[in-house]
Amino acid sequence: MALKTPEQYEESLRKLKLKVYLQGELVENPVDHPIIRPSMNSVKATYELAQDPQYEDLMTATSHLTGKKINRFCHLHQSAEDLVKKVKMQRLLGQKTAACFQRCVGMDAINAVDSTTFEMDRKLGTGYHERFSQFLRKMQEEDWTVDGAMTDPKGDRSLAPSKQADPDLFVHVVEKRQDGIVVCGAKAHQTGAINSHWILIMPTIAMGKEDADYAVSFCAPADAEGIFYIYGRQSCDTRKLEGGSIDVGNKQFGGHEALMVFDHVFIPWENVFMCGEYEFAGVLVERFAGYHRQSYGGCKVGVGDVLIGAAALAADYNGAAKASHIKDKLIEMTHLNETLYACGIACSAEGHPTASGTYIIDLLLANVCKQNVTRFPYEIARLAEDIAGGLMVTMPSEKDLNHPQIGKVVEKYFKGVASVPTEDRMRILRLIENLTLGTAAVGYRTESMHGAGSPQAQRIMISRQGNLEQKKQLAKRIAGIS
């Protein structure tokens, strides 16, 4: 197969027996549930664009394992050019969906696990890399969406995994058998988990010897026995149940997060890629985080493009587009957005090969990229809200606009520029609301803060990668200090 069609992807999800709880109820059909469906549409777009010759160069790649054309989301980066194309692809998809398209985390996970297992085998004599390569072949051939799962609930942040009052607050091995392992625990904030075919589990922090049972990496089918999901709540999510097309802001696309629970899940040895090798847990975390922080220089920029466009349209519809302060705010939004993109491209262009041959980004620049992402989208959103005006959050509903009696009143008093239909003005304001405050804010504003690690996590990495001692030597040489 190698490249699934959008229709094949949707049909493949229907065959899964996922156990999903949403607002206290077990969901019988996640694919068609009105709250979940927009997020599935976003993933579906990654399959649709891969079929379009116009986007073939960005959306597809040649497998280094088989020589076949595959979806880039299933690809191991073989050059700095691959890393650059990844960021460009993510910007494209952000522009097309104005939402989280969810496959980035799996792509970042496979690249991190590949190089880490290779180096683990070389040092310790384990056989994890070949196992992983076999999984990757299947992933590429079937064009699977894989959910990379790293973040544990963590409980008391001051305590190591093995010191927690409840051992399940970090995913861990509870039994080793001749044919595999049994795991318990949970992964939180799991982007796109319910739209995935497989999950790829990784440890969430560097660990010591006492935490060896928590140093575990493996893959499992998303509907494996013992795995269930609790769907995350988002602001304004029940608007999707109303059946309209205005108030939801972005009717077609969305994203989702879920708590993924492992209740004594059996994993055969062939699907285990780390089991007790605690000294490599930190390496895997650092590499995955680096790749994922690079990703934000693409996906968030694409969504930012849509938000900037929406703000510019709001100014047009308000009759304020010629005001100098509006022009200046749009320039500032563009400057901030392109700065994020520049960081994403820079850390990619400075990429280099790991021992396995897979390319990794410049980790310092990737962390600088994500540090900027924790700030700039907030300012872009603030400026968009400024330009849009208060009507963005005080407008009557779509039902009021369509009401036989009061609809004409809404039409009359919420019109901006006379030539622009009131409905168009309402639609663009609702889109801005969705991107800055509503369900899409999870994949844009708030995720910009906490996705791929909190701001402090990047600052720690910047401190490690900044090479202050080298900079001191540069200063000493210039100053004439021996």
Please determine, for residue 108, whether its predicted confidence score (pLDDT) is greater than 90. yes
Please determine, for residue 194, whether its predicted confidence score (pLDDT) is greater than 80. yes
pLDDT digits over 213-248, tens only?
Answer: 999 999 999 999 999 999 999 999 999 999 999 999
Please determine, for residue 344, whether its predicted confidence score (pLDDT) is greater than 80. yes
**Per-residue confidence (pLDDT) for residue 447, from 0 to 100:** 87
**Per-residue confidence (pLDDT) for residue 257, from 0 to 100:** 96
| More confident of the two residues 438 and 375 | 375
Instruction: Report, as an integer, the average pLDDT of 181-185.
Output: 98
3-class DSSP assignment, residue 207: coil
Residue listed under structure tokens 């969406």: 145
User: Which uninterrupted H or E stretch holds 313?
Assistant: helix 281-318
Residue 191 among known ligand-binding residues: yes
3-class DSSP assignment, residue 360: strand
In one-letter notation, the amino acid at residue 8 is Q
**Per-residue confidence (pLDDT) for residue 446, from 0 to 100:** 85
The two structure tokens encoding residue 77 = 């980066």
pLDDT digits over 423-434, tens only?
Answer: 999 999 999 999
Q: How far apart are CA 380 and CA 374, in angstroms?
A: 11
Please determine, for residue 35, whether its predicted confidence score (pLDDT) is greater than 80. yes
pLDDT digits over 145-165, tens only?
Answer: 999 999 999 999 999 999 999
**Per-residue confidence (pLDDT) for residue 443, from 0 to 100:** 80
- The pLDDT > 90 percentage for the chain reads 96
Query: E strands within 72-179?
Result: 146-149, 172-177
Please determine, for residue 198, whether its predicted confidence score (pLDDT) is greater than 90. yes
Instruction: Report, as an integer, the average pLDDT of 203-216.
Output: 97
What amino acid positions are annotated as catalytic residues? Answer: 100, 104, 191, 257, 292, 296, 299, 447
**Per-residue confidence (pLDDT) for residue 411, from 0 to 100:** 98
pLDDT digits over 293-343, tens only?
Answer: 999 999 999 999 999 999 999 999 999 999 999 999 999 999 999 999 999
Give the homologous superfamily in CATH for domain 283-466: Butyryl-CoA Dehydrogenase, subunit A, domain 3 (1.20.140.10)
Instruction: Report, as an integer, the average pLDDT of 167-176.
Output: 98
User: What residues contact residue 197 under an 8 Å CB cut-off, 6+ apart?
Assistant: 12, 13, 16, 142, 144, 145, 146, 221, 222
The two structure tokens encoding residue 233 = 């709540």
Please determine, for residue 350, whether its predicted confidence score (pLDDT) is greater than 90. yes
Please determine, for residue 278, whether its predicted confidence score (pLDDT) is greater than 90. yes
Contact 427, 414 (CB under 8 A): no
Please determine, for residue 202, whether its predicted confidence score (pLDDT) is greater than 80. yes
Please determine, for residue 445, whether its predicted confidence score (pLDDT) is greater than 90. no
Instruction: Report, as an integer, the average pLDDT of 350-371.
Output: 98
**Per-residue confidence (pLDDT) for residue 1, from 0 to 100:** 73
Contact 170, 154 (CB under 8 A): yes
Contact 438, 431 (CB under 8 A): no
Q: What is the mean pLDDT of the chain?
A: 97
Residue listed under structure tokens 């703000």: 311
pLDDT band, residue 438 (cuts 50/70/90): confident
User: What residues contact residue 97 under an 8 Å CB cut-off, 6+ apart?
Assistant: 41, 42, 45, 252, 253, 303
**Per-residue confidence (pLDDT) for residue 229, from 0 to 100:** 98
